């Protein structure tokens, strides 16, 4: 891999995760719009943006053959439903003042991904991975007991995004990132339109059109959704998976900092202890990844 490609990949990866880390500030700025209105706007404006880019590039020859690939379409539809679930849970958490729960969900995501690898793909874990999963389970149990309630939001985010990654892995690399994102948002667009109609008839009504700044931010949510996803895809093509795994922790760290320093959320001592246990699990996963890379390089040098 050439040095310029690696550098571009790192820049794209850091850019994607940094933008995701700033999402709490955007969604708080979108209040009083509710989670469902924000979700619908994200879907519709992202679909329009992707369609516009495809029109400019004249890149539509790939659409017709999709009629002969029903399995692919089922996979993309499943991915679309999972990412929509993730989005609405995340936005609901942030706009209701529970950004720290959202951050915890993305800290737990790598552990959920590893667990799915064992349960669904029948992958075998190395000792450090087993230790990380065990510590992660301890963290979840501690947080549940300390809070007196099940960490529903955090687990919903972690599991929905882990399942999204699993479905994308099953679908494979059949579709480039722009094509996949276009399909996912187009599939969701009819439901998004229905959501907006329903919201319009609720007592709160739609906030779209209330003022120019708020309306502009809702439109911008489409750009904010598409750009980091496309940056992530660019990074994944250029840098090793282990590197992506290590830099992904930028997002929940930034979300936690936004919650505490900017959004003035109070985290009790028990929550900090729970986060500490989760971070211990993540350090074990990171150590396992680094040791695996070093081992592979040593083997290749000896070979």
Tell whether 212 is covered by a domain.
yes
pLDDT value, residue 3: 56
E strand spans, the chain: none
**What does the alpha-carbon distance between residue 76 and residue 78 come to, in Å, rounded to a whole number?**
5
Predicted pLDDT of residue 284? 84
pLDDT score for 101: 87
Candidate from 154-168, 201-215, 240-254, 279-293 with smallest mean pLDDT: 240-254
Q: Is residue 302 part of a domain?
A: no
3-state helix, strand, coil in the chain (%, to 5): 80, 0, 20
pLDDT at 296: 66
Structure confidence at residue 298 (pLDDT): 64
Q: Is residue 220 part of a domain?
A: yes
Q: Residues 9-18: what's their mean pLDDT? A: 86
| Both structure tokens of 87 | 């989005």
> Long-range contacts of range 207-213, CB-CB < 8 Å, 24 or more positions apart?
207/30, 207/32, 207/33, 207/37, 208/33, 208/37, 208/41
Range in 40-49, 71-80, 106-115 the model is least confident about: 106-115
- pTM for the structure as a whole: 0.82
Residue-level pLDDT at 107: 81
The answer to whether residue 301 sits within a structural domain is no
The closest of 134, 136, 175, 183 to 155, measured between CA atoms, is: 136
Average pLDDT over residues 232-256: 75
Phi-psi region for residue 206, left (φ > 0), alpha (ψ -120 to 50) or beta? beta
pLDDT at 40 over 70: yes
Q: Which residue has the tokens 């990949």?
A: 9
Q: Locate tokens 């494979």: which residue? A: 172
Where residue 122 falls among pLDDT bands split at 50, 70, 90?
Answer: confident
Token code pair at residue 62? 């790939």
What are the E-state strand segments in 114-258?
none
Indicate the average pLDDT of the chain.
Answer: 84
How far, in Å, CA of 173 to CA of 229, rounded? 15
pLDDT, tens digit (0-9, with 9 covering 90-100), for 154-163: 899 989 988 8
For residue range 62-83, list pLDDT tens digits in order: 998 988 888 899 999 998 999 9
pLDDT tens-digit map of 151-190: 889 899 989 988 888 887 777 667 788 898 899 999 999 9
Within a domain: 105: yes
Q: CA 139 to CA 144: how far, in whole Å? A: 9
Q: Please, which pLDDT band fits residue 230 given cuts at 50, 70 and 90? A: confident
* Domain of 57, in residue numbers: 3-293
Average pLDDT over residues 124-145: 79
- Structural domain count, the chain: 1
CA distance 46 to 15: 18
Which uninterrupted H or E stretch holds 43?
helix 35-57
Which carries the bigger pLDDT value, residue 126 or residue 194? Answer: 194
Which pLDDT belongs to residue 223? 93
Instruction: Give pLDDT, residue 144.
Output: 74
Q: Is residue 300 part of a domain?
A: no
The pLDDT of 281-302, averaged and rounded, is: 72
**Residue 151 belongs to some domain of the structure:** yes
Cα distance between residue 150 and residue 147, in whole Å: 8
CA–CA distance, 159 with 116 (Å, rounded to integer) = 9
Query: Does 299 map to a domain?
Result: no
Task: Report residue 237 as tokens.
Answer: 């093509």
When pLDDT is averaged across residues 205-224 and rounded to a whole number, the result is 91
């Amino acid at each position: 891999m050439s040095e310029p490609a690696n550098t571009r990949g790192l820049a794209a990866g850091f850019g994607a995760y940094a933008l995701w880390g700033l999402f709490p500030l955007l969604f708080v700025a979108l209040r009083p719009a509710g989670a469902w209105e924000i979700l619908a706007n994200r879907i519709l404006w992202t679909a329009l943006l992707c369609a516009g880019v495809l029109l400019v590039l004249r890149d539509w020859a790939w659409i017709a053959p999709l009629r002969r690939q029903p399995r692919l379409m089922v996979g993309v539809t499943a991915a679309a439903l999972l990412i929509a679930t993730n989005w609405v849970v995340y936005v609901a958490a942030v706009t209701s003042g529970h950004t720290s729960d959202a951050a915890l969900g993305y800290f737990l995501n790598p552990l959920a991904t590893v667990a799915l690898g064992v349960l669904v793909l029948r992958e075998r874990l190395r000792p450090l991975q087993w230790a990380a999963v065990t510590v992660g389970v301890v963290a979840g149990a501690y947080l549940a007991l300390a809070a007196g309630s099940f960490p529903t939001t955090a687990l919903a985010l972690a599991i929905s995004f882990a399942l999204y990654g699993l479905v994308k892995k099953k679908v494979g690399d059949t579709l480039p990132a722009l094509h996949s994102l276009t399909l996912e948002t187009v599939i969701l667009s009819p439901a998004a339109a229905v959501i907006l109609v329903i919201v319009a008839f609720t007592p709160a009504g739609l906030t779209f059109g209330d003022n120019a700044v708020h309306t502009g931010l809702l439109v911008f949510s489409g750009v904010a959704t598409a750009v980091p996803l496309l940056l992530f895809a660019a990074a994944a093509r250029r840098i090793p998976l282990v590197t992506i795994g290590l830099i992904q922790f930028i997002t929940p760290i930034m979300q936690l900092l936004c919650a505490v320093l900017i959004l003035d959320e109070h985290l009790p001592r028990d929550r900090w202890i729970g986060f500490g246990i989760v971070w211990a699990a993540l350090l074990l996963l990171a150590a396992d990844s680094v040791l695996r890379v070093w081992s592979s390089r040593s083997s290749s040098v000896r070979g």
